[in-house]
Amino acid sequence: MEQLRNVEDLSPAAIISAANTVGEGVLWDARRKVLWWTDIPACRLHRLHWGESTPDVIAVPERLASFGLMRGSDCLIAAFASGIAQFDPLAGSVQWLHRPAFDGQGLRFNDGRVDRQGRFWAGTMVEDDRETDDGELYCVERAGAVRRRMDGIRISNGLCMSPDGKRLYFADSPTHTIREFELIEPGGTLGASREFARTAPGAFPDGATIDADGCLWSAQWGGGCVVRYTPGGRIDRTIRIPTRQPSCVCFAGPALDVLCVTSARENLDARTLAREPNAGDVFLYRVGVQGLAEEEFST
């Protein structure tokens, strides 16, 4: 397990006040010049018009874990707790695409991402106390068919793709492991895999993104940091975050040069919150690196 290196105490360029219970799924929408993210337990979707300091807050019909943009549409493809749907955030309408039978299994959807071919991937997680590995990873194909691609998962996280779309990264958070899979075309099946990186004790790999250099940026829940890994899986940089529960990352702004980091207040006691008053807020950093444009789900 590689120890943290090249640690930077970089001050945020801005902090967006949100006080999220669990801020997640942060996503840059270049078409609308909007930064989106969700507060999962609060059933709220946040929309920040770039250059402003206060987000709009949109109520959602159930817990929204992750989402992607849809080509030629104002809707989002959304992984709600109970299933995957086409969601219109302004009208509040939901058109369900896939709802697995979760009754009594203690499962919900979690992390998701649109891949370079315009498919949407979303994984489930075990959220009760059983600590089983009943979670699964699904892929919504461009024709709308939903395929199960993996099982034996506890908490699906860290979905992102290499710049050329040939590799998929995925983390099962409790295992402290990020894996890299060959993505086989046509069809987007998962091929050979390898261990890409392992996180330090107490730091769990959460949301991730890929930059223009092909490096992976991983928010590390419990570790209070975001780690940049080279394409070979070596730690390149470590950015300290002023709260112990960073949850997801993306690159945003017209030049895709602002690293945005969501965070969580969940399970932090009053003493911890006094030390970490910005827990649950969104942190914006100038890290001298550019990201990649988000792909859009294509039907």
Active-site entry in 206, 211, 257, 269: 206
What's the predicted TM-score (pTM) here? Answer: 0.97
Which residue stretches of 81-165 are H helix? none
Q: Which residues contact 35 (CB under 8 A, 6 or more apart)?
A: 26, 27, 28, 29, 47, 48, 50, 55, 250, 252, 260, 282
Mean pLDDT for the chain? 96
Of 189, 14, 205, which is closest to residue 115 (Cα–Cα)?
189
Verify whether residue 211 is a known catalytic residue.
no
- pLDDT > 80? residue 2: no
Report the pLDDT value the prediction gives residue 188, as an integer from 0 to 100.
92
Report the pLDDT value the prediction gives residue 277, as an integer from 0 to 100.
98
- pLDDT > 90? residue 73: yes
* Beta pairing, strands 7-8 & 235-240: parallel
Give percent of the chain with pLDDT exceeding 70. Answer: 98
Report the alpha-carbon distance of residue 281 to residue 28 in Å, rounded: 17
Report the pLDDT value the prediction gives residue 184, as an integer from 0 to 100.
96
Report the pLDDT value the prediction gives residue 158, as an integer from 0 to 100.
98
Position with higher pLDDT, 30 vs 144:
30
250-283: pLDDT as tens digits: 999 999 999 999 999 999 999 999 999 999 999 9
Cβ pair 159, 146 in contact under 8 A: no
Report the alpha-carbon distance of residue 23 to residue 11 in Å, rounded: 20
Report the pLDDT value the prediction gives residue 221, as an integer from 0 to 100.
98
Query: At 270, phi and psi to the nearest 5?
Result: -60, -40
Report the pLDDT value the prediction gives residue 104, as an integer from 0 to 100.
66
230-254: pLDDT as tens digits: 999 999 999 999 999 999 999 999 9
Rg, C-alpha atoms of the chain: 17
Report the pLDDT value the prediction gives residue 112, as an integer from 0 to 100.
98
Place of tokens 């699904």: 138
Report the alpha-carbon distance of residue 14 to residue 247 in Å, rounded: 17
Cβ pair 80, 138 in contact under 8 A: no
Please calculate the CA angle 171-286-112 and round it to the nearest 5 degrees: 25
Report the pLDDT value the prediction gives residue 288, as an integer from 0 to 100.
97
- pLDDT > 70? residue 100: yes
Query: 7-297: which CATH architecture?
Result: 6 Propeller (2.120)
Report the pLDDT value the prediction gives residue 7, as an integer from 0 to 100.
87
146-187: pLDDT as tens digits: 999 999 999 999 999 999 999 999 999 999 999 999 999 998
* CA atoms 117, 168, 210, 261: torsion sign: positive
Report the pLDDT value the prediction gives residue 3, as an integer from 0 to 100.
66
Of 219, 218, 242, which is closest to residue 229 (Cα–Cα)?
218
Where do the DSSP E strands lie in 89-176? 93-98, 107-114, 120-126, 135-140, 146-153, 156-161, 167-172
